[in-house]
Every structure is written in structure tokens, then in C-alpha cells.
Copies of this chain bind each other. A is one copy, B any other.
Amino acid sequence: MALAVLPVLPETLYPAAAQTVAPGDPLPSWNDGAAKQSIVNFVTAVTREGSPDFVPAPQRIATFDNDGTLWVEQPLPVQLYFALDRMKAMAPLHPEWKDTQPFKAMLEGDMKTLAESGEHGLVELVMATHAGMTTEEFEKIVMDWLATARHPKFKRPFTDLVYQPMLELLAYLRANSFKTFVVSGGGIEFMRPWMEKVYGIPPEQVVGSSIKTKFQMRDGRPELFRLPEVNFNDDKAGKPVGINEYIGRRPIAAFGNSDGDLEMLQWTTMSGAARFGLIVHHTDAEREYAYDRNVSLGRLDKALDAAAMNKWTVVDMKNDWKVVFSFEKR
């Protein structure tokens, strides 16, 4: 779990940027096959004037999970590495963490005990490390961390470990007048600072979990202060709730990879009209990771069963993707 910390030039943080669609194949990193064909068929059906499934452009809302759908989430979700590094930086001010769970387990890298602390434990970690500063200060902390943190296996910045085929898919949808949103269980203010450059998705199109903030004047200047109190949990049945609250339209296409995306996929596709659901199935132990029912964070179990029932597209990462990460294309 140790993270190598190396200096990088800031510009290398954003290798991928918003893709433009190639004049020929809009999805060059996808192998020809059922998954790619299903995407093209759907986009053609909803965008061709006169098609029985035509959807006017303003209603072409597409929602994407982030962890495991747009970027790597193993061996642990990226935000947990961030929380750990924050804890290490803050530990001298909190000697009690050495003897208190879940802080002790986190600092010792004891993932088993940490997992046993459940959602309540994770919330405690987030509160301790993500609150107590202004929104501006938090954004700087996130960006400084991303500039130096490295993935334990790939030894690269986490923003390098975004899926090239998904970047192409985002660009392909936008070229067809879709509005692309992230709808993630991750922290909304952990995601917004970098997604515009990495995914081409602006802050106002990012939905996520959040803590409460409070408006206050300090020294005659207004600020928003981050409080140690959960505001919204954008996971599982929270995803349709978040979509309705933040976007206010029902998506016509949704993209996920785990049981946390099940309700979003149901809400999107079970509307009686031509809709599209897709699950990224991590089947590539060599180039990335292979996991589904056998992991606790990022588990794909019920949603995989539901995919068959609901005719959602299941991407077989190993066979459907020519390349996995954006850095491979450089």
C-alpha cells in the first residue's frame, strides 16, 4: 500500500484530455464485436431523424460511474489512497489514531480490519480527512496530491490510469450531441477539479457523494467551510436519487461496472423506450485486474445477473479492448 512519491511536471497530469473523434472509426481502441456494435447501433438509433427511437438532443443524457468504469479502482479505490496519505500527514496532530479503529487499521495497512469497519468506518475516515477546511483549500490539497501520488502496481499518476476506450466512448457520445455526466459514489469535490481536463466533463456535470458545507464571512471575505457531516451518499439506490436531484432528467444511457451501479442502470433502461445500459467487466488480470463477485469493494454480482435479464451490454475488457489505459496511446 505504500505509494511512491515522485516529482512530476504539472503538465504530465493531463495526458488524455478531451478526445476528438477520428474521422474513420470513432472507437478505434475497441475490437469489433458485440459490445462495440451495440454502442454504435444505439447511438445511430436515437440520433437518426425519422428513426422510431429518435431522441431530441437536449434529452440525450448519458451517465457514467467513475471508479472501475472510467479509471482504475483496484487494489483500492483511488480516494482511499488519498485518505491514507492525508491521514499520514495529519497523524502527528492525532496521536489517538494509533489506538483507535478504523484509523489504526488504515495507518497499518490492515485492509481486513478496515473492511470489517464497513461503511461506517469509511465515513469516519472521510470525515477526519476531508473536512475542516474551505472548499478552495480542499481543491488545492486534491490537486497537489494527484500531482505526486502513484498507483502501487502501475507506478503512474492515477489520472494516467483512465480507460482509453471509455474516453473514446465519451467523445463519440458528445459528437452525437449527448451531454455526458459522471455519477459516482466518490466525493464530488475530489472529482471535480480534474475531470474537465481528463474526461472533458465540466464540474457542473459531475455528481457524487458529499459532505455538508457552511457559508461564512472570514476577514470580510466569503468562504464555504467543509463540515464533518454526511450530505449525500451517491451510491446504489442513491444514484437515481442523485441523478434526479442534480440533473433533473432521466438518462437514456448509463455506464457502470459494479453493484453500486445497479439502480442507475435500472432507472435508465427500464423506461419502456429504447435505452442503453453497459457494464465494464474486468476480465483482464494481465493488463489490469480480473474481478467481479470475488471482491468486497467494486463487487459485480447482482448487476451482472441483471445485465443478462435486461439485455445490458457487458464489456469483456480482455477481448473487447485493444488498449486499456490512456497512457498506452501516447
- Chain A residues with CB under 8 Å of chain B are 58, 61, 135, 179, 188-189, 192, 196, 202-206, 210, 212-215, 217, 220-222, 224, 231, 237-238, 240-241, 244-249, 263, 266-267, 270
Contact = CB atoms under 8 A, between A and B. Distances in A.
Contact of A246 (B204, B215, B270): B204
Contacts of A192: 248
10 contacts: A61-B204, A135-B244, A188-B248, A203-B248, A203-B249, A206-B248, A217-B266, A222-B266, A222-B267, A224-B267
Contact of A58 (B58, B202, B221): B202
Contacts of A61: 204
A204 B240 contact: no
Contacts of A267: 215, 222, 224
Contacts of A179: 204
Given A202-B58, A248-B192, A240 B266 contact: no
A25 to B, nearest CB: 29
A270 B221 contact: yes
Contact of A203 (B188, B210, B247, B266): B247
Contact of A247 (B189, B204, B248, B263): B204
B263 A240 contact: no
B213 A248 contact: no
Given A135-B244, A204-B248, A224-B240, 9 more contacts: A188-B248, A204-B205, A204-B246, A212-B241, A213-B241, A215-B238, A217-B266, A220-B270, A224-B244
A246 B207 CA distance: 8
Contact of A196 (B58, B206, B246): B58
Contacts of A240: 215, 222, 224
Contacts of A189: 248
Contacts of A188: 245, 248
A134 to B, nearest CB: 10
A244 B213 contact: yes
A189 B270 CA distance: 22
Nearest to A213: B241
A160 to B, nearest CB: 23
Contact of A241 (B196, B214, B220, B246): B214
Nearest to A195: B248
Contacts of A237: 214-215
A214 B58 CA distance: 26
Contacts of A247: 203-204
Contacts of A270: 220-222
B246 A224 contact: no
A241 B224 contact: yes
Contacts of A249: 202-204
A245 B213 contact: yes
A222 B306 CA distance: 14
A246 B246 contact: yes
Which of A58, A204, A205, A214 has most chain B Cβ within 10 Å?
A: A204
Given A213-B241, A231-B245, A241-B214, A222 B135 contact: no
